[in-house]
Structure 1
Amino acid sequence: MSVTSSSVTSYEVRGDIGIIWINNPPVNALSQALRDGIYAAVNAAQDDATKALIMICQGRTFIAGADISEFDKAPTEPSFNKILETIEQSAKPIVAAIHGTALGGGLETALACHYRCAVGTAMVGLPEVKLGLLPGAGGTQRAPRLTGVEAAIKLITSGNLIKAKDAVGLNLIDHIIEGDDLLEGAMAYVQQLLADNAPLRKVRDINIDPASFDPAIFDNSRKQLSRRARGQLAPQRIIDCIEAAATLSFDEGLATEGRLFMDLKDGSQSAAMRHMFFAQREANKIKGLGKETAKRAIKSVAIIGGGTMGGGIAMNFANVGIPVTMLEINDEALQRGLGIIDKNYSMTVKKGKLSEEQKQGCLSLISGTTDYQDLANADLVIEAVFENLEIKQQVFAKLDKVCKPGAILASNTSYQDVNAIAAATKRPEDVIGLHFFSPANIMKLLEIVRADNTSDEVIATSMAVAKAIGKVPVLSGVCFGFIGNRMFSEYGRETQLCLIEGASAEQIDRVMEEYGMAMGPLAVSDLAGIDIGYKVREGLSAEEKGDPRSFCVADALVDLGRLGQKSGAGFYQYDPQTRARISDPEVSALVEAKAAEYGVERRDFTDEEIRDRLLLPLINEGAKILQEGIAQRSGDIDVVYVYGYGFPVYHGGPMQYADHLGLDAVYKKLSALHRESGKDYWQPADLIKTLAESGSSFAKWSQS
């Protein structure tokens, strides 16, 4: 019998049990309407004849978290904490019945209930740290009272989900329901609780025994997190909250949590990380491409080229059960390529992330050939040969002859003209760029490059394929370097110019690592191999290469056989056992010699100068990419940089960082560098000038 309802909640009575139904599609997010509905239903149930209440959700999941779109809106009453207090203070036991996921505010709601049951497939977690936040409705106070301090630190600072059965071991879940009928199982569980005269348990009343944890755990965790999540504030504030849970009263701890939550919510780091949350989802949406666009079935894949990149690409498909045929120029090269794949899988097994049985299953899906005819029935062919346009055109001409009609022909090129590649075929509508990032089996980003004649069907299929193999796709138009490498060339140029003009390699890398980059640009160059850029430049004209001061040091290092980590020396020396980088006076002498050769007067740099010199060109080039329509929106550029280039997520990507600085400030800094240097590449992009003068931002422009 239904007794009350709202737009997203309803309440019914079955016998002596009241059922609070939640129905806020698609994931039952805790909108204001839902919070109000829960509050009203719990209060209404206090006056009826029921003996216990069940909170249960319709659809595919329990409450999957807060409605993030409401974070920047003014709070309304009753507050979420007031609603959870109402649940906890209910005179009748309330049991949360969980299926799907109970995340963030959803799990906090369940923790305010007196008991929790779940189906075995359910997952729970407090992932707020991934948005630069902490659980703000008692999660940091209730969780450690159930799990213990150490487990709560691990759970909340990682933000990872755990299975319901594992949550039972942590006391987050009390009972696993067998079978598929959640309501029936929950009803039976509640009846058993009533028969057993189960107490009205309130998590807030649990005291954490000081003897149950080592007091040093808080400082030790802070030190570990300062390395693991370098520069991020939220993990540190989570430790503060859990320490408060262990040493203060519940209400005092809750006040600490609320204050620190608001500090994070109103700060730039969480704003940037929430921006990235939405930007990644927006990147999946192609303007002008409807959901009804047909997609082609991809049941078999071929890879041209068995090198490190080709092998990594092949692994992506084998990992999800799609058979792959890898083509090489001869059997020796083919066996070498297959050996690289076997070695990669063996390393994963050694790390405990894959079983030997799973490894063999993946390897069984990868076969090799030296004959193009063996690719005749592939649904998708990805070329991953050397970055030479003529060679790629030859490959595509062969594919055009042997591949079946409707096969998608993709190039993994990182900067070549996809239109010119497509012109080598009689089916340019089937040609697309799929730019994987190295190592291809690990890196999440996939740049999908739309050529002039690429069909909507091929684009839609490529986006779906990216999702199927666990990649984060971003659509790009055709230009030299597409989105990522076109911008990165500006970053690389200024790195080298700062070096020859007086900054040390150590200072440059330190400044960018302190900004949040996983590695500084010169350390990255050593890791990737300095000769990669050297080989690319060999195929460029003098105009395309640009200012010789921006590559003369790197080229000289290659000429000396200093290729980076793989040769034991590059911009740094490397310890042969640990690969630890060591400053090298020979590099300093070489830089000074090149500066003298090119008439460069060296000087000292401030850290701020280096940061501006490296980051402002990313922003300026990104603005030009937006102007030209190469990227759909500024958030897409940010996704490319966070997922493909290690840009710190808590800055939200270069375009979000620019919006945070303010485009007026960016415009002034670029203009000053343009005046001082006289270099055209420092002239602010027209879009920056326009947005600065109107007081707008990249985000607002992208949404218009």
Structure 2
Amino acid sequence: MAIHFERDDEGVVTLTMDMSGSANVMNAEYHEAMGETVARLEAERDHITGVVLTSAKKTFFAGGDLNLLIRITPGNGSEALGFLEEVKAQLRRLERLGKPVVAAIDGSALGGGFEIALACHHRVALDDDRIRIGLPEATLGLLPGGGGVTRLVRLLGVQPALPLLMEGKQLRPARALQAGLVHELAATREELVEKARAWIRANPAPAQPWDEPGHEVPGARFGDPDLYGLLAAAPAVLRKKTHGAYPAPEKILAAAVEGAQVDFDTALRVEARYFVELATGQVAKNMINTFWFQLNGINAGGSRPAGVERSAVSKVGVLGAGMMGAGIAEVSAKAGIEVVLKDVTLEAARRGAGDTPGITPTDSDADLAGCDLVIEAVFENRELKNRVLPAAEAAALPDAVIASNTSTLPITGLASAVSDPTRFIGLHFFSPVPKMRLVEIIRGERTSDETLARAFDYVLRIGKTPIVVNDSRGFYTSRTFGTYVTEAVSMVAEGVSPALVENVAKRAGMAVGPLAVSDEVTLTLQLKIRDQALADDPAAAGALGDHPAFAVLEELVAEGRTGKSGGAGFYEYPEGGRKFLWPGLSRYAEADAGVTEKDVEDRLLFIQSLETLRCLDEGVLTSVGDANVGSVFGFGFAPWSGGTVQFVNSYGLTSFVERADYLADTYGERFRPPASLRDRAATNTPY
């Protein structure tokens, strides 16, 4: 039985959810088991004093079965709606049993799992920081369709519930208690059950707040000016954040507000219809595919070499205590790894270490003794890297992994600086390191499987998501992201309004406008990367040397506009004020540049997807999942799309080829789709 039913001498029934598989999920097995369980509870009601709902798994309940959800289409939407209505009806019967029902949350309760808990009269959670509680459906392009919107709005009120729903927040138990999602915490599993039973004894005939006579949704009284203010402002505020690219927050807002104005059971129906509308849409499918299936596959070791034993880094040496090196040292130390942070001076090393425990600042290579991993994070200069790497390798353990945090320089070339290139690898972190989830692992021509596996294990250890790519200039992320920035600057050179470029990029779902990003990374760095590429490959002079984007960058740098760190770039940075686009860019603007808004958007998105496909063709990328996850987490490609390759799939291969050919004919051969894509389009074979 998927839900074990056990009644003790006091009449307390313990329901232990134990679906087949590693986690409890809301699928047909759950539906059948809960239906039978609720029917039995109703039949034996007179012999029951209360119900404790718990789990036999590591998690309380994992949520909806995404294997089923991703298959919902407009054609079977009514069937999905019927299933959802039945699931909700079961929970409705459970909370109206007339007996106290307590959720004993002994593991993470997310999505459908927390919706089950919300249908219980009382919620006690184990006070364990590994546990997460919440309704994260919005992060997968969905809304909580099992009663989550309806119950949370009635529990907390419209305004307090909306951030939790629209942002998909996952809270630790202590924070969930503060937010009102759970009623009590317990220090141990024994105390968890005892508190549940104690509440049952003290509350023999409870009812949910929304089933009490005269109940009103907190803060949703008709005529309340605060409510009208919220209703008037919320859609505009939301649109400013999402630019209309993310339907889930909009539907959550609609379901919450509309549901608050009607009775509880009608609100459940409103919620269910909005859920199915989202589930049949393409955005949810894109996000589920990438942020669930592909991301979980990566974190489970999909790109890790098979047959290599797991390893655990014990001591990391970080070379360079600047922003990147300090960030790498911080996340390593917080993961419980001993860290040595080395810089040219002890003062600089101390400044980089800050007050983070577990970091030893130094200016001596000798202190790298005992390190089984060394990560070089000095300036992006090959000569400098070639000087610091051999000394660090000599001081570390004989079998230590030696890594470079370079964002563009080929790893195979850098490996020549160390005595054993099989132990050399690229570990490309993103700034700011503590916040950015991705690490791009770059395998050089001679990097061994063992080295790659050890690097992979380290990245997981520090709580990051690893993607694995093969060596190339710029690897995958920097190379592809570079096309986004240069395409934007090219449009400025063509006379397109800089404000239009920035606004269209954000409307398309990009995390940051390309001109703002250009300022962040500095205009000088982009020119240095171009110059290094030209020095290494003079044959690239035609493509790089004559690129209109670099002419603009050179002009701005010559005028002292080097980027944000220099105080001026494409933007002005007034002290104490908000940045704004430099009015002097009007020198490039033309009244009619001949580039439509749609062309601006597609040039920015298509150029990144096309470069990704070239990386797949060249073997730089070996996994579509690495491409999608890397594009969103690494350089902020529009999350609604599911990533650069999923964008091609969802656009439709034939339609994408036709549009890319138009862009190539109009704006240049860089938009010409590769032969591999044409072949796939001819056979309708998605990536």
Query: For residues 476-625 of structure 1, what are the structure 2 equivalents within 5 Å?
Result: 476-541=469-534, 542-545=538-541, 546-547=543-544, 548=546, 549-585=548-584, 587-589=585-587, 603-625=593-615
Residue aligning to 2:14: 19
**Structure 2 unpaired stretches of 5+:** none
> Does residue 241 in structure 1 map to residue 236 in structure 2?
no
> Does residue 60 of the first structure (1) align with residue 58 of the second (2)?
yes
- Aligned letter for 1:306? A
1:433 aligned to 401, 426, 433, which one? Answer: 426
Residue of structure 2 in register with 1:321 after alignment: 336
AA aligned opposite 2:262: L
In the alignment, residue 251 of structure 2 is paired with which amino acid? R
Shift of 1:568: 3.4
Distance 1:163 1:203, change over 3 A: farther
Counterpart residue identity of residue 271, structure 1: K
Q: Which residue of 1 aligns with 2:107?
A: 100
Answer yes or no: is 1:269 the counterpart of 2:287: no
Q: Is the 8 A contact 1:22 1:28 kept in 2?
A: yes
User: Residue 693 of structure 1 aligns with which residue?
Assistant: 682
Deviation (angstroms), 1:171: 5.0
Contact 1:88–1:202 (CA<8 Å) still a contact in 2? no
Alignment of 1:22-171 (within 5 A): 22-24=17-19, 25-48=21-44, 49-73=47-71, 75=80, 77=83, 79-121=86-128, 123-168=132-177
Q: Aligned equivalents of 1:199 and 1:678: distance in 2?
A: 70
Secondary structure class of the residue paired with 1:392: helix
Aligned twin of 1:189: 198
Displacement, 1:265? 1.6
| Mapped partners of 2:206, 2:520: distance in 1 | 60
Give the structure 2 partner of residue 336 of structure 1.
348
Cα pair 2:50 2:204 within 8 Å, conserved: no
Letter in 2 for 1:126: L
Partner residue of 2:387?
A: 394
Structure 2 counterpart of 1:236, which letter?
E
CA shift at 1:689, angstroms?
0.8
Q: CA deviation at 1:632?
A: 2.5
TM superposition shift of 1:435: 0.5
Which secondary structure does the structure 2 equivalent of 1:235 belong to? Answer: helix
Contact map agreement 1:306 1:328 (CA 8 A) in 2:
yes
Choose 644-653 or 475-484, whichever is displaced more.
644-653
Structure 1 residues 326 and 147 mapped into 2: Cα distance closer, same or farther (>3 Å)? same
Distance 1:18 1:293, change over 3 A: same
Deviation track 1:60-96 (CA, whole Å, cap 9, x = no partner) reads 2211311222103453747321222232343544332
Please point out which of 625, 644, 659 is paired with 1:635: 625
Distance in structure 2 (CA, Å) of the matches to 1:44 and 1:485 = 59
Q: TM-score, normalised by structure 2?
A: 0.89
Change (3 A) 1:667 1:187: closer
Distance in 1 of aligned mates of 2:68 and 2:192: 30
Identity %: 31
1:371-410 matches, within 5 Å, as 371-410=364-403
Q: Per-residue CA shift, 1:269-311, capped at 9, x if unaligned?
A: 2222212322222223555746652233312111112222222
- Give me the whole-angstrom Cα distance separating, in 2, the residues matched to 1:133 and 1:468: 30
- Once the two structures are overlaid, the 10-residue window that deviates more, 395-404 or 378-387, is 395-404
Farther off after superposition, 282-291 or 513-522: 282-291
- Provide the C-alpha distance between the structure 2 equivalents of 1:688 and 1:339, rounded to a whole number of angstroms: 50
Task: Tell me the secondary structure at the aligned position of residue 36 of structure 2.
Answer: helix
* 1:173-322 correspondence to structure 2 within 5 Å: 173-177=182-186, 179-181=188-190, 184-185=193-194, 188-189=197-198, 192-193=201-202, 197-201=204-208, 203-205=210-212, 206-208=215-217, 210-211=220-221, 214-215=226-227, 216-231=229-244, 232-277=246-291, 278-286=293-301, 289=304, 293-322=308-337
- Alpha-carbon offset, residue 432 of structure 1: 0.9
Q: Secondary structure at the residue paired with 1:141? A: helix
1:387-438 alpha-carbon deviations (Å, 9 max, x no partner): 2334333333333433212211001111212122223333222111000112
> TM-score by structure 1 length?
0.87
> Could you tell me how far 1:203 is from its partner in structure 2?
4.0
Number of residues paired by the alignment? Answer: 658
Question: What RMSD, in angstroms, separates the aligned Cα atoms of the two structures?
Answer: 2.7
Does structure 1 retain, via aligned residues, the 8 Å contact 2:312–2:458?
no
Q: Is the 8 A contact 1:126 1:160 kept in 2?
A: yes
Deviation at residue 572 of structure 1 after TM alignment? 3.5
Residue ranges of structure 1 left out of the alignment (5+ in a row):
1-5, 343-359, 593-600, 699-704
Counterpart Cα distance in 1 of 2:654 and 2:601 = 18
What is the SS of the residue equivalent to 2:533? coil
Measured in 1, the distance between the counterparts of 2:470 and 2:620 equals 4
Task: Point out the more displaced range, 205-214 or 230-239.
Answer: 205-214
**1:28 and 1:64 in contact (8 A); partners too:** yes
**Is the contact made by 2:349 and 2:363 (CA closer than 8 Å) also made in structure 1?**
no
Q: 1:411 aligns with which of 404, 415, 425?
A: 404
Between the aligned partners of 1:590 and 1:223, the Cα distance in structure 2 is 32
Decide whether aligned partners of structure 1 residues 18 and 415 sit closer, same or farther in structure 2, where only a CA change above 3 A counts. same
Structure 2 counterparts to residues 455-494 of structure 1, below 5 A: 455-494=448-487
- Is 2:4 the counterpart of 1:10? yes
Q: Is the 8 A contact 2:102 2:196 kept in 1?
A: no
Shift of 1:475: 0.7
The DSSP-based 3-state class of the residue aligned with 2:662 is helix
**1:442 aligns with one of 435, 439, 442:** 435
Q: In the TM superposition, what is the alpha-carbon distance from 1:382 to its structure 2 partner?
A: 0.5
Letter of the structure 1 residue corresponding to residue 154 of structure 2: R
Match of 1:353 in 2: none
Deviation at 1:167, TM superposition (A): 4.3
- Distance (whole Å) between structure 2 residues aligned to residue 434 and residue 692 of structure 1: 35
Deviations 1:517-564 (A, max 9, x none): 232211211232111112222323254352422311111111111112
Does the 8 Å contact 2:104/2:193 carry over to 1? no
Shift of 1:146: 2.0
Q: Distance in 2 between matches of 1:204 and 1:659?
A: 46
Say if 2:561 and 2:569, in contact at 8 Å, map to a contact too. yes
In 2, the alpha carbon distance for the partners of 1:172 and 1:572 equals: 43
- Partners of 2:26 and 2:118 in 1: CA distance: 15
Q: Look up the SS of the partner of 1:551 in the other structure.
A: helix
Q: Distance in 1 between matches of 2:185 and 2:375?
A: 46
Aligned counterpart, 1:596: none
Q: Distance in 2 between matches of 1:288 and 1:144?
A: 42
Q: Distance in 1 between matches of 2:630 and 2:65?
A: 25
| Secondary structure of residue in 1 paired with 2:505 | helix
Q: Quick check: 1:295–1:458 contact (8 Å CA) kept in 2?
A: no
Q: CA deviation at 1:602?
A: 8.3
CA distance in 2, matches of 1:45, 1:687: 59
**Partners of 1:569 and 1:50 in 2: how far apart?**
72
Distance 1:245 1:673 in 2: 45
Verify the 8 A CA contact 1:311 1:338 in the aligned structure 2.
no
